[in-house]
Amino acid sequence: MAKVNVNNTSFPSIEELTERYNLKGSAQKALTGQRTFAEVLTEKQGEEFGLKFSKHAKERLSDRNINLSTSQLNRLSDGMERAEKKGINDSLVMIDNLAFIVNTRSSTVVTAMDASESNDKVFSNIDGAVIA
């Protein structure tokens, strides 16, 4: 893990502190009473693409250590727009090995997971799917 140097003083990185104190996702948030850095970053990046992330989706991204690239956020936004144009309200959007359930009416990502996490490969409460 890389150290952060400020004015010739070395500080541990966020990753190193998280590992040192064994804090992951929701546990980190519960102990600090604040949103995790990953949650804030994902929210701000999503806003640039017209996306909102539900509290549940933010927690799933954090818990599952899913960090979206700019390209992936762009494809997620595009997938949501394509679903909306086809009249899909609640869509599964697949990007690389990631699966997102999105509500097109509110432009909100409802949940997120690594596609390999779904043991039975069944997604419910959707009325369409997009591979982006």
Instruction: Give the start-to-end residue ranges of the domains of the chain.
Output: 12-131
Percent of the chain with pLDDT over 70: 69
Greatest extent of the chain over all pairs of C-alpha atoms, in Å: 56
Residue among 78, 85, 69 nearest 132 (CA): 78
**pLDDT for position 19:** 67
The whole-angstrom distance between residue 81's C-alpha and the CA centroid of its chain comes to 18
Residue range 4-18, pLDDT digits in tens: 556 667 777 766 766
pTM above 0.85, yes or no: no
Does 67 have pLDDT greater than 80?
yes
Other Cβ atoms closer than 10 A to 70: 10
**pLDDT for position 96:** 92
Q: What is the mean pLDDT of residues 58-83?
A: 90
Position 36 confidence tier, pLDDT thresholds 50, 70, 90: low
